[in-house]
Every structure is written in structure tokens, then in C-alpha cells.
Amino acid sequence: MTATAAALPHLSEDRHTTLWLNVAVLWHAGFALLLAASGIFLLVSLADSTIPIATGLRVFLIALSLLGGVSSACAAIFITRRDQRGRMLSLVINYLGFVVCLAFDLHILGVYVGLDVLAGTFKYGLPFLLLGFIGYLIGAWGDRHEDFPQRQQAYRRLSQTISLIAAGLWLLSVGLLEGLRALLQQFNSPLPFILTAGIAVFAVLLRAVGRRSVAEALHTKRQHEETLTGLLFLSPNLLGFLLFFAAPLLFSLLISFTNSDAFNPPDWVGLQNYQHLLNVTIQPLSSSTQLANEVLDVKIYNELARFEILGQSYVIGAQDKLFWLALRNTLVYCLMAVPVSVIPALLLATLLNSKLPGMKLFRAVYFLPSVAAIVGIALIWQWLYNSAIGYINYFISLTVNFANSLFNAGWVDPKLQWLSDSNSALIAIALMAVWATLGFNIVLFLSGLQSIPRDLYEAATVDGANPTQQFFAVTVPMLAPTTFFVLTTTTIQAMQLFEQVFILSNPLGGPNNSTLSLVVYLYQNGFQRFRQGYASATAWVLFIVIFGLTLFQYRRQRSSSGAYEG
């Protein structure tokens, strides 16, 4: 038997433990009944339109009541049988109950809003914080007098007194008394009392069932204890993930089957949003110049593209032309930005990995753009890209004039319209994005490079491999996991192109939809055109595309690393 599987030492159940176990059984039985009653009430109220709770939310609450009720009933049964599963269930239920009651209570009492107020009054407490710091300094000064214990003790007392007074004054100055009064004023309805009582009950039960004697009475093994401890430490992140990521994700999937505008009760439309997004048709043209509206059903389709096979011209019509344009732009952007963000990063990281003087400075210089906020970067680049007064065109003009005056080259100043020409706008955005992400990728590659054992290079040198051969035969294969990570994260970032387009393009997604990305398109639908359901469907299509690309890269990485290992 391993140490983790060992049972906790089992002592005979004392009266105190039995009492708590009985209380827990009664509590869980009662809680199960309460939840069952709530579930039945909500089920009955489904038909009642006067209750101001959305139907979807009511269905969710019914499911939650059912799940909670069954779990609580199971906990009661298992505890009665002295089965450790009862304790596990009880702890989870009581912990979740405690967290939910606390979160709602803080909300009802206005604490979350109050935190904003604290930000406003914080400045009034700064002098007292300074006083507290002085108290700390006195204590620190006293620690220098190790040879004089009495003096050291006196300093400590003085430090503690000043710190305590400062803390008290600080709390008063930032509004403790007003806060207390405001908090008490919130207890003006039964709800805060119920929630506060809930917090107390769940906390007491949590403490009672968590007792060591209860664990022993329920034959809990060490591994169960460790599982519970692990779950407890995971819980802040896990609950945050479930609440703020998984739940909205599932909610967006749900509303992608509706015509939700985010404000009014949505209608279920099934796969209509997806059908509208993906509906395309291909029709032959009598000539390559024939108008598309002569062959397409213009009430449904818009011309998306034309192509020619074996002398026959065809037109592709799409019900949602903009979606396909956005998908094309996003993929083209990926093809441009990802290789240029990854390959030079690898080469530069290799250079920066050498032990030459000044390398740390260069590492910092390359990393700097990654620290800056993307909005700030984009605003600066917008100015640089301006075709009339931007610095980039200014330097190009200087170069052209210099070449013409010196060599009589006869070059024509191109006056590039970086952001206003549909042929160059996406390239300009990709260039800026590469500049911004290169440094971060370099750092990732650097960490990967530094983990490659030097022995391999020494062995390769002994075998007569030159630096280039070492790079391709040692560095690149050994960096495969890092490369996979860099490639995957850069691809995902590129597929989610938004901020750069939001700031740099004017109008959004322009010129001529050449910078319209999928995320920009779903933003436009969701926020500007009141089509949250449709935007959610677009988001799920984007998710599938990203997932497919990541899976492809993962399989490629697995097969290549397998070949290397073999």
C-alpha cells in the first residue's frame, strides 16, 4: 500500500463527532428538500410569464436545483452509511454554497461598487500609510541593535504602536465609519439577512464536516484528503474558469442558434445562422465579363469571386459575402504574419543566444514592443503610415531623391498608400503586428535554446558538423516543442486579429473590406448591427477553424518529433 492510499487512523466515533454527522445528515436532507421545492416551483413557473426571470435562466436554475438536490441527498445517504463519498460531496456542496452566498451577499451589500469608492478615497489615507511606513522603518532600525536587546525591544514597541495607530487612522480616513454605516443601511430587506445566514450555515457545516474526527469516522483515506486539498487550491481558478470562460462559451453556443439581439427575448432559429454564414453557390458564366446578378439569385446571393476552369468562367455567390471575405483576409493575414513572426524570431534568438558583449541590451530592445499596449502602438503606426505626412513615406522620398540626385537613377517616388490601398493595407497591418510580436517569440526561443544540452553541440563539432549543419541537425529538432508552442500561440493570435484593424483601418475593415477580419466582423454584427446570435455563430466557426489549425500543427509536431526520436 502506498502512503497516499493509506487510510487515516480510525478511532472510534465519539459523541461529538456523531452529533456533527447527524447534523450534517439533517442539513443535507433539508437542503435537498429545499432545492427540490425550488426546482418544482421554477418548473411550475415556466408557464408563468409574469415572473421577471428569462426562460433560459429558469431552465438553468431548474437544472441546477435538480443537480444540487440530488447531490445533497446523496451526501446525506452516504454520510448515514459512513461512506467517505458523503464527506466529499458535503464539503463540495457546502464550499460552493458558501462561495455563492458570499458573492451574492457582497453584491447585494454593494461591496463591489464600494471598491470603486475606495479607489476614490484611497488618496486621503496616503499620509497615514506614510506614517505606517515610518513605523516600519523604526522597527527595521531597531533590528540593527542586536547587541542591546532592551533598546531593540523599545524600538519594536514604538514601531508596532505607530503602525497600529497609522493603520487605524488610515482606515478611518478612507471611510471605515461611512462604510460601516452604508453597509448597515443595506440590511433593509430579508435578502441580505438570508444570504448572511447562508454564509454562516455553510461555513459551520464546512468546518464541521472538515474536522479530522469526521474524516476518520467516514473512513477517509489520505488520497481523498489530498484530492480535496488539491481541489480547494484549484477552486479559485476553476470557479473563475467555469464562471467567466466556460459558461459564456456555452452560452454563446446556445445563442448562436437564436436570433438574439442581446436586448430582447430571442427566438430559436436552429442552424439558420450557420446556414446563412456558409451558404454558397457556384454558377457558370457565359463570358468572364458577364454580370453576376444575371446568373445569381440576387435576393439571396452576392458575388464573392470568379474563376475560370478549362476556358469556362464561373462565379461564386455567397449569402454572406462579408463572412467569406473576412475568413479569406484572416487566413491571408495568418500566412503573412505567422512565418514572419516565427522564422526571424528563431534566427534572431540564435544570434542573441551568443555570448557577445551587449546582447542583453539587444534582447531588451527586441522585447520592448511586446511590453507596449497594442492600442498605443497602433496609433503611432497609423501616423507613421500616413501617405501624405508619415515618416515612412518621408524616408522613402528622401532615399529616392538622394538616389536620383546622386546617380541620376530616375526612380519614381512610389508615395505608397499603406493603409488606404486595398492591396497594401493588410500587409501594413501584418508588418506592424510582426514588429510587436517578434520580441516575445524571441524570448520564448531563447529559453528553448538555453535548455539544449551543450554536449550535443560538442558531439556535433567532434563529428565535423559546421554551424549551419548544427543549426539544422541539433537546434531545430531540439527546439521542436518550443517551435510548436510559438507557432500555435502566434497562429491563434493572428486568427484573432482585431485591435490593429480597429485602430488602423478607417472605415473599420477598409479599404474595400480588405482588412475585415473574422473577429472584426463578429464585433460588427454583435455590437453594431444588433445580431448577437449571428455573431456567436461566426465566433463558433472561427473556433472550429482555429481548433482545426491547432490540431493540424499538433499532429505535425507529434509526427516530426516521433521521427526524430525514432
Partner 1 sequence: MNRKSLWIILSALIMASLLLSACAPAAAPAPTQAPAQQPAEPTSAPEVKSTEAPAQPAGEVTLRWRTRPDNKEETGVYASVSDELAKRLGFGLKYEPGGSESSSYQDVLKTEIAAGTAPDVFWIPGTDVADFATRGLILNLGEMAAKTQDFDVNNFYAGPMYHLTYNPETDKTGADSGALWGLPRDVSTFALYLNLDLLNEAGAPDPRELAKEGKWDWGVFLAVAKQVRALGSDIYGYGANAWWGPYGVWLNAAGGGFFNEDRTACALNTPESLKGLEFEKSLYKAGEDVAVPYGEDSEPPFRAGKVAMFQNGRWATPGTRQVDFNWDVVELPNGPSGTPGNWLFWGAYAVNPKTPHPEEAWKLVQALTEAETQGKIAALGANIPSRVSQEALDTFLTLTPPTNNQAFLNGIDPKSQPTAEGPLWAGSWPEYDAIMGPAVQAVITGDKSLEEFAKTICDEANKVFK
C-alpha distance across the termini of the chain, in Å:
37
- The distance of closest approach from Cβ of residue 432 to partner 1 in the complex, given in angstroms and rounded to an integer, is 16
CB of 60 to partner 1, least distance (A): 18
CB of 109 to partner 1, least distance (A): 7
Distance, in Å, from the CA atom of 370 to the CA atom of 441, rounded to the nearest integer, reads: 9
Mapped onto helix, strand or coil, the DSSP state of residue 284 is strand
Q: Which is nearer to partner 1, 13 or 499 (CB)?
A: 499
Element (H, E) at 281: strand 280-285
How far apart are alpha carbons 329 and 505 in whole angstroms? 14
Which is nearer to partner 1, 313 or 488 (by Cβ)? 313
For residue 154, the minimal CB distance to partner 1 (Å) is 20
Q: Tell me how far, at minimum, the Cβ of 478 lies from partner 1, in Å.
A: 41
Chain residues binding partner 1 by CB under 8 A are 106, 109-111, 114-118, 120-121, 167, 171, 174-176, 178-180, 182-183, 186, 261-264, 291-293, 298-299, 302-303, 322, 375, 379, 382-383, 386-389, 413, 415, 417, 419-422, 503, 506-507, 510-513, 524, 527-530
| DSSP state at residue 264 | S
- Which residue, 283 or 387, is less far from partner 1 as judged by CB? 387
What b/e sequence results for 468-479 when a residue is b if at least 16 CB atoms lie within 10 Å of its CB, and e otherwise? Answer: eebbeebbebbb
To partner 1, the closest distance from the beta carbon of 541 in angstroms equals 19
Residue 265 CA to residue 67 CA, distance in Å, equals 26
Q: How far is the CB of 259 from partner 1 (least distance, A)?
A: 12
Q: Which DSSP helix (H) or strand (E) runs through 315?
A: strand 312-318
Closest to partner 1 by CB, 176 vs 351, is: 176
For the chain, what is the radius of gyration of the CA atoms? 33
Cβ nearer to partner 1, comparing 78 with 534: 534
Q: Which residues contact 430 (CB under 8 A, 6 or more apart)?
A: 333, 336, 337, 340
Edge to edge, the sheet with strand 280-285 lists: 280-285, 312-318, 302-309
CB-CB contact of 388 with 380 (8 Å): no
Name which of 116 and 455 has its Cβ closer to partner 1: 116
Nearest Cα to Cα of residue 343 among 489, 487, 467, 549? 487
Q: Which is nearer to partner 1, 169 or 465 (CB)?
A: 169
Dihedral class, residue 258 (left if φ above 0, else alpha if ψ from -120 to 50, else beta): beta
Considering the complex, what minimum distance in angstroms separates the CB of residue 512 from partner 1? 5
Nearer to partner 1, 144 or 415 (CB): 415
Q: Name which of 186 and 553 has its Cβ closer to partner 1.
A: 186
For 181, the grid coordinates are: 454605516
Q: Which grid cell sits at 32?
A: 435537498
DSSP character at residue 294: G
CB of 103 to partner 1, least distance (A): 13
